[in-house]
Structure 1
Amino acid sequence: MNGRRKVCFVIEAMGSFGGEERVTSMIANALCDVYDVTILSLWHIGEPRFPIDGRVRVEYLMVRGEGRIMRMWPRYLTMRLRRRFAARRYDVCVNVDPLLTLDVTPALRGLGARIIEWEHFNYHRTLDMPERIRALETAATHSAAIVTLTRRDLELHRDEGRIPERLLRHIPNPTPYEGDVPSPRGSGLAIAVGRLVLQKDFDRLLRIWATIEAVDDAWELAIVGSGPQRDHLTRLADELGLSRVRFVPATDDVEAWYDRASLLLMTSRYEGFPMVLLEAQSKGLPVVAFDCDTGPAEIIDDGANGYLIPQDDDALFAERTLTLMRSRDLQDRFATAALERSRDHRMAPIRSRWIDLIESVASDPAEPR
């Protein structure tokens, strides 16, 4: 229509409130001055929870009631996608979750669009899920590129997953708080942020905090998030006799909690790319985190802007947290280093890498198989 390339980000549900939805909105907004950008949400469960530039088109493919049709007709989603793709004629489709490639690939066959897989899971978690292995195998033979959020995942996909190196690209996520005022860190408040699910291992955090509170009860812990484990976690906090812990429901204004905090703690069992560490760093917060797969080791410089703790060492996690709690000078040094390190995740260079990738795959005349 206007000669610009048409780029479509395909996502499960843009109305969800999570890291994938946040970063999709950020990248789509950053690219809409160069491309005609559409976010195609498979499900309409509500409007986007994150800001969307007016130049970005947000479209919805299905409503909740169609799930019943999908169960009776397995190819229903592929058919709906193909009808939409044939009408829109995108140049590049970005699958925000590579699992979507199982439907997007056949839906795009013969339409000329190039496919980019945007992998938000870490490699080892993918191996635990047969359907994700099948999706990755499909992506390896039908996609123009596979984007990983960490260098470690790129190496694992290349060396153990046997993905051709020519397909792999490493593009980290940008910080949503670029240029924001750092937290004043004026209160004795440590925070943890995330969905209340097993992955985040807040059980472990509460037990660690019990060790900390027994030694120094001057600080408070706020766990910011909602999820299915809330009742279990509140009961556990009561059983542990914790008096300095509060649970805060998920909020659209999580930045306000970063502004109130002096320290961020993360006890996840695994991550893809932990946005909470990046967000905290961009607000000048020192962090203590377990060195889980994947991401923390690429954000935290141990002993410089935070502490990176071996996964099996709860005692050291508590010790390092207490060390930071007791030293404002150490907090200040870590905060300065955190703000400097956050510059690696400014939008401008990440936007350039996305543009380079889109131009590269869109200019390749090869048709996906």
Structure 2
Amino acid sequence: MKIRYLLLHAYGLGGTIRTVTNQANAMAARGHEVEVVSVVRRRDEARFKLDPRVRRSALVDQRGGVEPDSLSRRAWRKLRGRVVPRGEFAADWFTERVERAVIDYVSGLRDGILVTTRPALNLISARRGSARVVRVAQEHMSLTAYREPVRQEIAKYYGRLDAVQVLTKANQEEYHGLLPGIRVVRIPNAVHSVDNKHSAQEHRTVVAVGRLVTQKGFDLLIPAFTQAAERHPGWQLRIYGSGARRDQLQALIGDPERIRLMGSTGRLDEHLAKSAIYVLSSRFEGLPMAMIEAMTHALPVVSFDCPTGPRDVLTHGVDGLLVPPEDVAGLTAALDLLMGDRELRLRMGAAAAATARAYSTEQVTPLWEELFTELSSRRSGSA
């Protein structure tokens, strides 16, 4: 099969980029013709490694900076039609040139499978893509996380797609409610490996991973850990990721030796293996892949029971602890419990590693192959 994955920025960091890279590599390993297409390119080198058999290309090269539009945003919308809705989290990336490039690329395809990976791209595929192409939209976020204009466009246009893929059962129920009669399939993302080095619980380190944005809730995690650490001297919190809220988060840190914002890293597996607890403090999620990757290292998890994702993976009291959403006191108490009990961490960590095996490429990739084969056969039969 010929499979194209369309990403906003395949050269950057982020959970969607990493999981799509994993998918592309796994499909290429099974003999399929695979290409990853990046809407924009802002880096010389990609942060995640692709299998040599996977082609990578970019529609708009922005390494020299973002070119100004020749038309006003309003004029561009009037000329070509409103495709990327206001309120899409990445709407500012879709300048006149970028949006035109995506529309021209999608409308020019005549065969194979096109997998788009965020609402802006899903909507362009739905509205401008050819019926000759099997079009599959990936949704990496909860429907409720999107702003109303985005949900309205999803309800209006996703019915033109061949299938919508979501990550959790809760996501599937949401989309079924909004899109009756549309094919909505649940396929979780796969981690790059489930055979990672396990934590020996020798280091008193709590670790969190994610962009430094409001969604990730690090402004709630920092005070929660600060309170828990008062009862457990020597423990540290390390937060890996970059983002716009770094300065605000830094201002919340009282002891920079105890709590550190580590920035981005290409050695996350190494850091996870030397940690003791993984914490997810998000206000909302899709399927939290960094959490599952931490579980492959036998780390127990403390997580807000946010919509959606953590509850689909974790069993409270078995492989982690679920805390009511945005409950800082509850997060403190859960951290306090695990920080004070090494045997509990070892037991929950072993269970976490077992849970994570359901997210291996060996488990997930056949689900994608079955979906693509079915949709392609249906398209051939109706041609």
Decide: shared fold, TM above 0.5: yes
Q: Secondary structure at the match of 1:364?
A: helix
Judge conservation of contact 2:109–2:130 (CA < 8 Å) in 1: no
- When normalised by structure 2's length, the TM-score is 0.87
Of 66-75 and 200-209, the range deviating more from structure 2: 66-75
How many residues align structurally? 357
**Paired amino acid for 1:38:** E
Aligned AA for 2:153? R
Q: Structure 2 matches for 1:353-364, cutoff 5 A?
A: 353-364=367-378
Distance across 2 between alignment mates of 1:189 and 1:79: 47
Contact 2:22 2:191 in 1 (8 A): no
Shift of 1:118: 0.3
Other-structure match for 1:135: 154
- After superposing the two structures, state which structure 1 stretch, 32-41 or 147-156, moved more: 32-41
Moved more, 178-187 or 49-58: 178-187
Unaligned regions of 5+ residues in structure 1, if any?
none
The answer to whether the 8 A contact 2:42-2:61 is kept is yes
Gapped regions of structure 2 (runs ≥ 5): 81-96
**What is the aligned partner in structure 2 of residue 90 from structure 1?**
111
User: Are 2:242 and 1:226 aligned?
Assistant: yes
C-alpha distance in 2, partners of 1:343/1:94? 25
What amino acid is aligned across from residue 104 of structure 1 in structure 2?
S
Shift of residue 260, structure 1, vs aligned partner: 1.4
Specify the alignment match of 2:128 in structure 1.
107
Q: Name the structure 2 match of 1:315.
A: 329
* One-letter amino acid of the counterpart of residue 341, structure 1: T
**In the alignment, which of 42, 47, 52 is matched to residue 45 of structure 1?**
42
Asked if residue 150 in structure 1 is aligned to residue 168 in structure 2, the reply is yes
Q: Which amino acid aligns with 1:133?
A: Q
Q: Summarize the Cα distance change of 1:78–1:196 in structure 2 as closer, same or farther, 3 Å threshold.
A: closer
For the aligned residue pairs, the C-alpha RMSD in angstroms reads: 2.2
Please list the CA deviations of residues 134-183 of structure 1 after superposition, one character each: whole Å capped at 9, or x if unmatched.
034311x2101000011110012113x1332x501000011223212212
Indicate which of 171, 184, 189 corresponds to 2:200.
184
**In 2, are the aligned partners of 1:7 and 1:90 still within 8 Å (CA)?**
no
Deviates more, 1:273-282 or 1:129-138: 129-138
Match of 2:274 in 1: 260
Matched, 1:123 2:143: yes
- Offset at 1:78? 6.2
CA contact (8 A) 1:79 1:107 kept: no
1:104 shift after superposition: 2.4
Aligned partner (choices 220, 228, 253) of residue 237 of structure 1: 253
Displacement of 1:132: 4.5
In the alignment, structure 1 residue 162 sits paired with structure 2 residue 179: yes
The 1:67/1:360 distance shift into structure 2, 3 A limit, reads farther
The match for 1:24 is 20
Contact 1:78 1:104 in 2 (8 A): no
Provide the C-alpha distance between the structure 1 equivalents of 2:325 and 2:208, rounded to a whole number of angstroms. 17
CA distance in 1, matches of 2:136, 2:111: 12
1:9 counterpart SS class: strand
Aligned amino acid, residue 89 of structure 1: R
* C-alpha distance in structure 1 between counterparts of 2:68 and 2:157, whole Å: 24
Asked if the contact 1:9/1:94 (under 8 Å) is kept, the reply is yes
Q: Aligned-pair distance for 1:84?
A: 3.8
Instruction: State the TM-score, normalizing by the size of structure 1.
Output: 0.90
Q: Give 1:87 shift.
A: 6.1
Corresponding residue number in structure 1 for 2:10: 14
Q: Partners of 1:78 and 1:211 in 2: how far apart?
A: 47
3-state SS of 1:25 partner: helix
Give, in whole Å, the separation in 2 of the partners of 1:200 and 1:145: 29
Give the direction of change, closer, same or farther, for the CA distance of 1:49–1:132 in structure 2 (3 Å limit). farther
How far did 1:7 drift? 1.2
| C-alpha distance 87-55 of structure 1, shift in aligned 2 (>3 A) | farther
Partner Cα separation in structure 2 for residue 181 and residue 209 of structure 1: 26
